[in-house]
Structure 1
Amino acid sequence: MNQNQDRILSASRRTDIPAFYMDWFMEHIKLGFFNVKNPFTKTIKKIDVSNDSIHSIVFWSKNYDAFIKAKAGEKLIQLGFNIFLNFTINSESHLLEPNLPLLKKRLEQLNRLVCLFGPEKISWRFDPICFYKTSPDSPIKNNFSDFPDIVQKITELGIKKCVTSFFDNYKKIQTRLKWINKKKLSSIFFIDPSLDKKIKVIHRMETHLANAGLTLNLCCEKEVFSNLGPHTRVLENSCIDGHLLKTLFGGNPEIKKDYGQRSKLGCQCTKSIDIGSYADHPCFHNCLFCYANPHIDTTLKNSLRFNEN
């Protein structure tokens, strides 16, 4: 790899490329370029991705099954690319994340990825933390049911941190929930806890993770982080971390802060080029809290499993 080049690819904050678009991704790797559409201006920019122009590729996914079966990671490494994997593994919930594999299957994927690439090249995300009701008068629920079991498996595999944030009620989420309620597919009301409640939740997570030898990192939770107190071991996270990528792979990756992300909310990410598209690469997981996709896909066989059973 050319040590003078420092581009980092993000694949992708905007969709789940490892789950749904690896054929497309690998084809463009072979072509040596991606045509990337700006989500705001809609302008298209050609991005050179010959392996001597890219320091590393950071993947984001909730389901690495297709990635593993295609041996995509091994092929990319053979082509001279460095890879890092962000893997979101939450508690099993057919209501919140209706189209994901069972938790057992996702943990099996994680085990395989650790065997292939090592725990240091994988980041576990328990994200987002959700509080919700299924009717106006029902008790408040959360998505922590499988958290202890996931922590145990993460610890066994040698991964050293957990990345988390709280649910944000984006406009796209409001659009999705209105559609679901109109179609009477389900009933859910997300709750935004008070700052005090959030701090208590984070301290409990911090303690549980510390007892297992893990640290807790917050993604874009500046207010919460600044109110945790002087003795906290919680850190602000860089989901794309140029310093870490340099430590792992050497070379000269980009280490400038990415002010195009949510820096005002505490984002610490390094500058990268995201090659995904909200419009052209819809995600079919149908997660109710997803900021990327305002619509629910109704074409998949298991698309509307919006229940908690």
Structure 2
Amino acid sequence: MILNTGMRTDIPAFYSEWFMNRIREGFVLVRNPYRQDWITRYELNPEVVDCISFCTKNPAPMLKYIDELKCFNQYWFVTITPYGKDIEPNVPPKEKVMEDFITLSKAVGTKCVGWRYDPIFVDGAYTIERHISNFEEMCRSLSGYTTVCVISFIDLYEKVLRNFPQVRTVTPQERVAIGKAFAEIGQRYGITIKACAEGNDLAPYGVDCNGCMTQETFETAVGCSLNIPKKKSIRSECSCILGTDIGVYDTCAHFCRYCYANSNRENVRRNMALHDPASPFLVGNLQSGEIIHQAKQVSWIDNQLSFF
């Protein structure tokens, strides 16, 4: 199975101590976000967890634990954008994140780390020209430390519009201009541009539109073939292997304007106040009378086939 840590929050940035406590104790408890009384226990055992998928804007707090995590296969997506504190108030400067990205890449290998430049939006400050210029500067710094950059354009979810009311949809013409330029730049620096849930419109310009967290992504990280059960994606245009997410919505303190996982800052502050690094839950603890359901976990590794 694939254990996902980052679709609902940023565990490496804010909850690295808790995560490592879970690794050491060998299990984690997760509440269903749509049914809080349904609690699932997942064993954190390399025999059944084929790969841990991390998504973060700040890998720095986890770097000191990398050696301890080497018993698990890992794949890291690190988001690095050109946005400032007006958009990403609590994200470290991109120069610092790129330094930590390089440190991470040296530790886990280029096949196990990818760069995300998303979501992309366009306005008077963050113009197409600025995106292209900043992207090339970042490619120059990260070349040789990753072979992949995932891009996507901002989706106007209800939470996004609530936190970022002035944002607008990126037009088809703007998407093509950015996608084409990024593909050309990426080719010069040995970085394949992948589009996340954007359809196939950018494929003619050299963008890989087959998805980002795909079976191929994890097979490359693990080093062998995976027999992954077929699951219907929540989004028809998404071909990613989302796996099991142990995060919790409304717990990320980056407070990015474009965030789809936070309802509001008050909820985040309340949940973070309930966080206990020693708890099996990311937020809160087990209450009297609550029932724990054991997850059905099996390895997806196909030992009969070599990926190489």
**TM more than 0.5:** yes
* Structure-1 residue corresponding to 2:47: 52
Instruction: Write the distance in 2 (CA, Å) between the matches of 1:203 and 1:121.
Output: 26
* Structure-2 residue corresponding to 1:242: 215
Instruction: Write the distance in 2 (CA, Å) between the matches of 1:246 and 1:206.
Output: 24
The alpha carbon displacement at 1:271 in A equals: 4.7
The alpha carbon displacement at 1:23 in A equals: 1.2
Contact kept? 1:258, 1:268, Cα under 8 Å: no
The alpha carbon displacement at 1:258 in A equals: 4.3
Change in 2 beyond 3 A, CA 1:37/1:251: farther
Contact kept? 2:194, 2:212, Cα under 8 Å: no
* Structure-2 residue corresponding to 1:186: none
The alpha carbon displacement at 1:47 in A equals: 1.4
* Pairing partner for 1:206 from 180, 183, 196: 183
Change in 2 beyond 3 A, CA 1:106/1:197: same
The yes-or-no answer on 1:119 pairing with 2:110 is: yes
Instruction: Write the distance in 1 (CA, Å) between the matches of 2:93 and 2:212.
Output: 25
SS of 1:235's equivalent? Answer: coil
* Pairing partner for 1:66 from 61, 65, 69: 61
The yes-or-no answer on 1:255 pairing with 2:228 is: yes
Change in 2 beyond 3 A, CA 1:30/1:253: farther
The alpha carbon displacement at 1:257 in A equals: 4.8
Contact kept? 1:258, 1:271, Cα under 8 Å: no
Q: Which runs of 5+ in 2 are unaligned?
A: 270-308
The alpha carbon displacement at 1:173 in A equals: 1.7
Instruction: Write the distance in 2 (CA, Å) between the matches of 1:58 and 1:202.
Output: 26
Render the CA deviation track for 1:193-243: whole Å, top value 9, x for unaligned: 322321222112212222223221100111xx2x346x4321125432333
Instruction: Write the distance in 1 (CA, Å) between the matches of 2:229 and 2:211.
Output: 12
Q: Which runs of 5+ in 1 are unaligned?
A: 1-6, 134-138, 179-188, 300-309
Instruction: Write the distance in 2 (CA, Å) between the matches of 1:260 and 1:124.
Output: 23
Change in 2 beyond 3 A, CA 1:177/1:248: closer
The yes-or-no answer on 1:109 pairing with 2:100 is: yes
The alpha carbon displacement at 1:284 in A equals: 0.5
Instruction: Write the distance in 2 (CA, Å) between the matches of 1:208 and 1:252.
Output: 31
Letter in 2 for 1:292: A
Letter in 1 for 2:172: L
The alpha carbon displacement at 1:140 in A equals: 7.1
Contact kept? 1:254, 1:271, Cα under 8 Å: no
* Structure-2 residue corresponding to 1:3: none
What is the TM-score of this pair, normalised by structure 1? 0.78
SS of 2:78's equivalent? Answer: strand
Letter in 2 for 1:32: G
The alpha carbon displacement at 1:118 in A equals: 1.3
Identity %: 29
* Structure-2 residue corresponding to 1:168: 155
The alpha carbon displacement at 1:146 in A equals: 2.4
Instruction: Write the distance in 2 (CA, Å) between the matches of 1:132 and 1:295.
Output: 23
Letter in 1 for 2:18: W
Letter in 1 for 2:6: S
The alpha carbon displacement at 1:247 in A equals: 3.4
Instruction: Write the distance in 2 (CA, Å) between the matches of 1:150 and 1:237.
Output: 23
Contact kept? 1:55, 1:251, Cα under 8 Å: no
The yes-or-no answer on 1:152 pairing with 2:146 is: no
Instruction: Write the distance in 1 (CA, Å) between the matches of 2:183 and 2:215.
Output: 25
Contact kept? 1:163, 1:237, Cα under 8 Å: no
The alpha carbon displacement at 1:19 in A equals: 0.3
Instruction: Write the distance in 2 (CA, Å) between the matches of 1:53 and 1:194.
Output: 43
Change in 2 beyond 3 A, CA 1:132/1:232: closer
Instruction: Write the distance in 2 (CA, Å) between the matches of 1:120 and 1:148.
Output: 21
Instruction: Write the distance in 2 (CA, Å) between the matches of 1:58 and 1:165.
Output: 19
Question: Which segment drifts farther, 213-222 or 13-22?
Answer: 213-222
After superposing on structure 2, the runs of 4+ consecutive aligned residues of structure 1 that deviate more than 6 Å are: none
Letter in 2 for 1:23: E
Instruction: Write the distance in 1 (CA, Å) between the matches of 2:103 and 2:86.
Output: 27
* 1:183-202 map, 5 Å: 189-202=166-179
Instruction: Write the distance in 2 (CA, Å) between the matches of 1:140 and 1:25.
Output: 35
Give the CA RMSD over aligned residues: 2.3
* Pairing partner for 1:274 from 245, 264, 287: 245
Contact kept? 2:9, 2:247, Cα under 8 Å: yes
Letter in 2 for 1:81: F
The aligned length equals: 265
Letter in 2 for 1:150: M
